[in-house]
Amino acid sequence: MMVSSQRVLVVDDSLTIRNFVSATLEDAGFEVTTARSGFEALKILQTPSTMFHLVVTDVNMPDINGLELVRYVRNSAVHKATPLIIISTDGRERDRDRGMHLGASAYLVKPFPSETLVEMAKKVMEPGANVAPHMVAQVKKH
């Protein structure tokens, strides 16, 4: 899969995680935009000419959390089909199920290897990939 033209929005309030995820995806050839909060992500997503092929979001953020962001994307006419990967330190089944039910394409539990993130990003962005809530692609802590 050619990724050079694939645009990804990375949303995380942790600078360390934001830098790790961004660098990982950029090294794999993705074009990355970052947001420090759910609110900043909403502003970026509401820009008329801004389209993303993937959104990677943390759950626990101080203003608008990642689950609210997933809900917004799934209810947006413009971004409805955009794949979403939730990344979180919380790997409880209840939390994963909630994220997937809201419309996430995948749920990764931190920490995760960079290769897993790239593999997951490519998988959920494949043409014809199902971004419905029942597509569960989870990685557990090692």
Predicted confidence (pLDDT) per residue in 70-89, tens digit: 999 999 988 999 999 999 98
Report pTM. 0.86
- Cα separation of 76 and 20, whole Å? 28
Per the structure, how many domains does the chain have?
1
CATH number of the domain encompassing residue 109? 3.40.50.2300
Structural domain contains residue 1:
no
Residue 120 lies in a domain: yes
124 falls within a domain: yes
106 found inside a domain: yes
**Element holding 94 (H helix, E strand):** helix 93-102
**Tens-digit pLDDT profile for residues 94-119:** 888 888 999 999 999 988 999 999 99
Which residues span the domain enclosing 69?
7-139
Q: Does any domain span residue 91?
A: yes
Q: Which residue has the tokens 């990355």?
A: 32
Q: Is residue 81 part of a domain?
A: yes
Averaged pLDDT, 41-54: 91
pLDDT at 67 over 80: yes
Q: Where are the beta strands (DSSP E) in the chain?
A: 7-11, 31-35, 54-58, 84-88, 106-109, 138-139
